[in-house]
Amino acid sequence: MSITNLRLVVVMAFAIAFVLQPLFRSELHADEDLPPLIAREDFDRHFVAIKPYPGEWRWREDIPWAGTIHEARARAAKENKPILAWQSINSPPLGST
């Protein structure tokens, strides 16, 4: 690589860094948009308020969920039943709500 090309690469790198600098700077101050932390003495009260009541998540307890596809395949083969594989990547499985 010649000196001229090297100078061009260095100038372009500095130009790109100068243009992208505000993006990185805003990430450093992103915590300003966060709500205040919960005080230690209030945490137990809030935790009890959001904790599910007994029987509230009955669907999670009654359905024999499988953690991996391998576990589901072994159980399906043993019980001679089909598998319902439901996956969602960064979106609700039934669409936006």
Condensed to tens digits (0 to 9), the pLDDT of residues 65-82 reads: 888 888 989 999 999 999
Q: How far apart, in whole angstroms, are the C-alpha atoms of residue 35 and residue 37? A: 7
> Does residue 7 form part of some domain?
yes
> Does residue 86 form part of some domain?
no
> Does residue 9 form part of some domain?
yes
Buried b / exposed e along 9-26 (16+ C-beta atoms within 10 A)? eeeeeeeeeeeeeeeeee
> Does residue 52 form part of some domain?
yes
Across the range 10-25, mean pLDDT stands at 71
Tokens of 14: 């500095």
Residue 97, pLDDT > 60, answer no
> Does residue 13 form part of some domain?
yes
Q: How far apart, in whole angstroms, are the C-alpha atoms of residue 1 and residue 21? A: 28
Q: Could you tell me which residue, 19 or 76, shows the higher pLDDT?
A: 76
> Does residue 62 form part of some domain?
yes
Residue 77 is predicted with a pLDDT of 95
Handedness of CA 24, 29, 31, 34 (dihedral sign): negative
Each residue of 42-68: pLDDT tens digit?
A: 888 888 888 888 888 877 778 888 888
Q: Looking at the 3D structure of the chain, how many domains does it have?
A: 1
64: domain range? Answer: 3-79
